[in-house]
Chain A
């Protein structure tokens, strides 16, 4: 029933179904006091370049496992949080959403922290890449070497999430 909590695919993203999904706690519905959300957008500039659009690509089965790992890390750190995380792939125009996250909790602090933690971990370990098409060319963006067992990266994400 309903949408999956974790997903990667070409469909446009919408936060409202994610909010509904994380606050549907079955018999325990009504226990949440807060939902924190994050929507990552394609912006029209990057390090001095005029950006026209982005193309995202992912190794989908491994990306889903990475999302499951992030959700499990959040269950360990903030057991009262329910997380939803959807990442879009394919071409996305300026202003379009590339990633949508919702975190529900009885307490707003946990919701905010888990939401921030999730996007930091996506950037560290999700096998997803963006290609930037800008005025005058295109380039693959390369960030972190993905290593889910890197405890220092995980600690960095937790520190940022709890700042």
Chain B
């Protein structure tokens, strides 16, 4: 199945794209998708412990199971205000 990945701020710069599509295995979690990306783009690996994650524009835990067509966002530490 296929999901859309959205990346923001420095994560986007490191990967070089704001949006990607990736195939994931049925039953894959948000965390598994992150590890797949970190293997593909080693420079983002240092964000392992500091990212937040969202699925379909709602904050989500890393153990959330993905569905076909989901939009998964990886968010570096925030700095609004």
Bound complex: CA A40 to CA B81 (Å)? 6
Interface residues of B, dominant DSSP: mixed
Bound complex: CA A59 to CA B19 (Å)? 12
Once the chains bind, are B81 and A145 in contact (CB under 8 Å)?
Answer: no
- Count of chain B residues with a beta carbon within 8 Å of a chain A beta carbon: 20
Query: Is the interface on chain A under 10, 10 to 19, 20 to 34, or 35 or more residues?
Result: 20 to 34
Given A127-B52, A127-B54; A146-B59 close (CB under 8 Å): yes
Q: Which of B44-65 contact A (CB under 8 A)?
A: 50-52, 54, 57-59
Tell me, yes or no, whether A142 is within 8 Å of chain B by CB: yes
Once the chains bind, are B75 and A146 in contact (CB under 8 Å)?
Answer: yes
Tell me, yes or no, whether B40 is within 8 Å of chain A by CB: no
Tell me, yes or no, whether A131 is within 8 Å of chain B by CB: yes
Once the chains bind, are A145 and B50 in contact (CB under 8 Å)?
Answer: yes
Residues of A within 8 A of B58 (CB): 62, 65
| Sample (6) of A-B pairs whose CB atoms are under 8 Å apart | A122-B81, A123-B80, A127-B78, A140-B76, A146-B77, A146-B78
Give B contacts to A, CB under 8 Å.
Answer: 6, 8-10, 13, 50-52, 54, 57-59, 73, 75-81
